[in-house]
Structure 1
């Protein structure tokens, strides 16, 4: 929101409009079939609670690697060079969307969110060749979603796994809202596509 405002007063005004009109910030957020109302966080949880709720409620119909369209998850990068891993992952998925429209002209800014997590998580990083780690989304995601349902059914909180988009990078997926802790803002990154699937990255 900050890039849209020239003054603190203007920023506060825009944030108030967002608060009143965004489903992410009120009780009317649509719930996917596998998310219960009592799982959603409230303002008492502190900064970032609306982002967590959105991660679990706003899903793609086909889901992602460790969640289907009926329930989201919180994805993050960690470990060695987490910013580079996060940018590689986000950039890959945005490029896929640009593939769909057939036009590689886009500028998107992302605000880094830093968080802690309550574990333990199931560690998949030593499982080379596992079907749920297949970088081809059409096959890897189906297997990953099946595994995630099994792990959630066993009351396990999430997984850590190797990044498919940056060699040596590590990612995690948290399966429950309350596992995401102490959220705060980090840097802002700008991703630019200028006519090809390759994108440039700059901190702004």
Structure 2
């Protein structure tokens, strides 16, 4: 089946835990791609998931190892991904999952954070601080918007098995070049739109930090979202 594509020019919003450093080895413009890869693996040497991270790095061709202001934040989306995968990715390699607006990005991350916490004993009450990453994209993506009735397997709320298979076939086809990614409707927030971008080079640098939030769960697991501060990077997008 030939999938419909659409040129997507958009500002994307992605939330990550504030504990992750905003600057890292991929922000260095002086190293070549091989040096960057070695430096990253050395930096990650104390991580008990180093084997997984190294395997993911090997899946990216040299031209997809990006450099520049905010590049570490982009590369982190691909290398420090959930081993279970996401809606359109399996555990081999992450992607730039983001939303067209920050409210949808918050709703998406709240859902997944709550699910993870519910799997832990004594998880509530708790709080997590998050920061918003803002980056532009301008590329053709497989467009499955408006297809919830036609292709409901891509929009299952919690079972991603069929959607993952769909995404893997697009990303790593048996012949030809893989797709850039997918644009799709959010199942967590009405009118929300998400993207799953498969290639780091398609995320336009710089990546800027925007608002910081705190997710606070009470003892029952009910959550509130508080905006903490507004951070300006001093470099325009």
Q: Would you say same fold, with TM above 0.5?
A: yes
Aligned-residue Cα RMSD (Å) equals 2.6
Give 3-state SS (helix, strand or coil) of 1:159's partner: strand
The residue aligned with 2:217 is 193
CA separation in 2, counterparts of 1:75 and 1:186?
17
1:159 Cα shift? 0.7
1:37 Cα shift? 5.6
Matched, 1:77 2:99: yes
Deviates more, 1:31-40 or 1:64-73: 31-40
The residue aligned with 1:64 is 86
Equivalent pair of 1:40/1:177 in contact (CA under 8 Å): yes
Matched, 1:177 2:177: no
How many residues align? The count is 180
CA separation in 1, counterparts of 2:82 and 2:170?
21
**Which consecutive unaligned segments of at least 5 residues does structure 2 have?**
1-17, 26-35, 45-52, 229-237
Deviations 1:105-143 (A, max 9, x none): 1111111111011311111111114202111x2x2x111
Query: Residue 150 of structure 1 is aligned with which of 166, 169, 177?
Result: 169
Structure 1-normalised TM-score?
A: 0.79
Structure 2-normalised TM-score?
A: 0.68
Deviations 1:56-92 (A, max 9, x none): 11222211111111011111110xxx11111100011
1:19 Cα shift? 4.9
**Which consecutive unaligned segments of at least 5 residues does structure 1 have?**
5-14
1:186 Cα shift? 0.8
Matched, 1:35 2:59: yes
Matched, 1:26 2:13: no
Alignment of 1:57-136 (within 5 A): 57-78=79-100, 82-102=101-121, 103-129=123-149, 130-135=152-157
CA separation in 1, counterparts of 2:128 and 2:109?
11
CA separation in 2, counterparts of 1:112 and 1:174?
17
CA separation in 2, counterparts of 1:134 and 1:197?
23
1:97 Cα shift? 1.0
Alpha-carbon distance change, 163 to 113 in structure 1, aligned in 2, over 3 angstroms? same
Structure having the larger proportion of residues in helix: 1
